């Protein structure tokens, strides 16, 4: 699979309550001919050492059992974001499209986000993950993995998107991501200017950026040339690191 990301302007699509937009420009499976990328150089990253989590440093948690806990309820021709199947489901029907949702909260600058994510349908050529420092639909950090083993930290600024976790501006092949329908535990640390993404305890992407401070958090999922990405999120936590 060959994935890249250009700095092209993201054309924003209006949606009621839930958010959606065309998929990150330039990211595409190798079969699409969407540009070249370096698919070598994926390496095993060191295991993360998790800091002990206590009830006192939990800023927000959601098991999605209460459908009025603040997340979006939306169903459009492009897909669905809603409480379903004992979790929060993001189902993206349209090809080359991203959908996301927020709990409509405000958090301090430094947060650690954790969630379990399972692919319940659609192709492995997908992306899904968490959002931190969400200012508005044009400005936030998107921290994503794919079911076929890629990862990236993407910055949306003034509607423009760019991968900031790799010098070549592309998603990178990494070890540590569970493929197919096997669930993944995702952790994202947004601490100062340091942004770090983990999958199942393995660091898979990191970046340094200070464009945004504070803001909301969120969940997202997206498609490439084939629609149908279907992700079920459970056990969502936001901690003070």
Question: Using one digit for the tens of pLDDT, what is the confidence trace for 48-85?
Answer: 334 445 567 999 999 999 999 999 999 999 999 999 99
Count of domains observed in the chain: 1
What is the predicted pLDDT for the residue at 56?
76
Dihedral, 186, 125, 133, 157 alpha carbons, nearest 10: 160
Answer yes or no: is pLDDT of 177 > 70: yes
For residue 142, list its beta bridge partners.
Answer: 131, 154
Domain that holds residue 178: 19-26+59-239
Residue 66 lies in a domain: yes
Answer yes or no: is pLDDT of 238 > 60: yes
Q: CB neighbours (10 Å) of residue 185?
A: 14
What is the predicted pLDDT for the residue at 108?
84
Could you tell me the pLDDT band of residue 232, with boundaries at 50, 70 and 90?
very high
What is the predicted pLDDT for the residue at 22?
53
Average pLDDT, the chain: 83
Torsion sign, CA atoms 166, 203, 207, 235: positive
Dihedral, 191, 24, 199, 149 alpha carbons, nearest 10: -150
Mapping DSSP onto H, E and C, the string for 44-109 reads: CCCECCCCCCCHHHEEEEECCCCCCCCCCCEEECCEEEEEECCEEEEEECCCCEEEEECCCCCECC
Residue 176 lies in a domain: yes
CA 50 vs CA 8, 53, 88, 216: distances in Å:
36, 8, 25, 23
Answer yes or no: is pLDDT of 36 > 60: no
Please write the tens of the pLDDT for every residue from 88-125: 999 999 999 999 999 999 998 899 999 999 999 999 99
236 in Cβ contact with 132 (< 8 Å): no
Residue 9 lies in a domain: no
205 in Cβ contact with 155 (< 8 Å): no
Averaged pLDDT for residues 161-173: 96
Q: CB neighbours (10 Å) of residue 146?
A: 27
Please write the tens of the pLDDT for every residue from 116-163: 999 999 999 999 999 999 999 999 999 999 999 999 999 999 999 999
155 in Cβ contact with 148 (< 8 Å): no
Please write the tens of the pLDDT for every residue from 6-32: 333 233 333 333 456 555 544 433 222
Answer yes or no: is pLDDT of 189 > 90: yes
Residue at token pair 């959606």: 20
Could you tell me the pLDDT band of residue 3, with boundaries at 50, 70 and 90?
low
Residue 12 lies in a domain: no
CATH number at 125 reads: 2.60.120.560
What is the predicted pLDDT for the residue at 121?
97
Answer yes or no: is pLDDT of 38 > 50: no
Residue 197 lies in a domain: yes
In terms of Cα–Cα distance, which of 142, 154, 162 is closest to 6? 162
What is the predicted pLDDT for the residue at 141?
98
The share of the chain scoring above pLDDT 90, in percent, equals 75
Residue 130 lies in a domain: yes
Averaged pLDDT for residues 185-213: 97
């Amino acid at each position: 699979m060959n994935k890249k990301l250009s700095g092209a302007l993201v054309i924003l699509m209006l949606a009621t309550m839930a958010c959606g937009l065309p998929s990150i420009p330039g990211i595409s499976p190798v079969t699409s001919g969407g540009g070249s990328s370096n698919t070598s150089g994926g390496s095993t990253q060191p295991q993360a050492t998790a800091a002990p989590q206590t009830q006192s440093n939990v800023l927000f948690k959601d098991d999605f059992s209460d459908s009025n806990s603040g997340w979006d309820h939306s169903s459009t021709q492009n897909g669905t974001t809603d409480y379903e199947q004992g979790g929060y489901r993001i189902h993206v029907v349209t090809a080359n499209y991203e959908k996301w949702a927020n709990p409509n909260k405000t958090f301090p600058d430094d947060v650690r986000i954790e969630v379990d994510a399972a692919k319940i349908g659609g192709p492995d050529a997908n992306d899904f993950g968490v959002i931190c420092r969400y200012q508005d639909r044009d400005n936030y950090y998107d921290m994503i993995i794919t079911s076929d083993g890629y990862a990236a930290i993407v910055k949306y600024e003034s509607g423009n998107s760019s991968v900031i976790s790799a010098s070549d501006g592309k998603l990178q092949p990494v070890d540590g991501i569970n493929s197919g329908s096997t669930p993944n535990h995702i952790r994202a640390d947004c601490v100062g200017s340091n942004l770090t993404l983990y999958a199942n305890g393995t660091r898979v992407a990191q970046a340094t950026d200070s464009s945004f401070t504070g803001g909301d958090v969120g969940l997202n999922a997206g498609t490439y040339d084939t629609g149908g990405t279907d992700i079920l999120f459970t056990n969502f936590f936001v901690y003070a690191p």
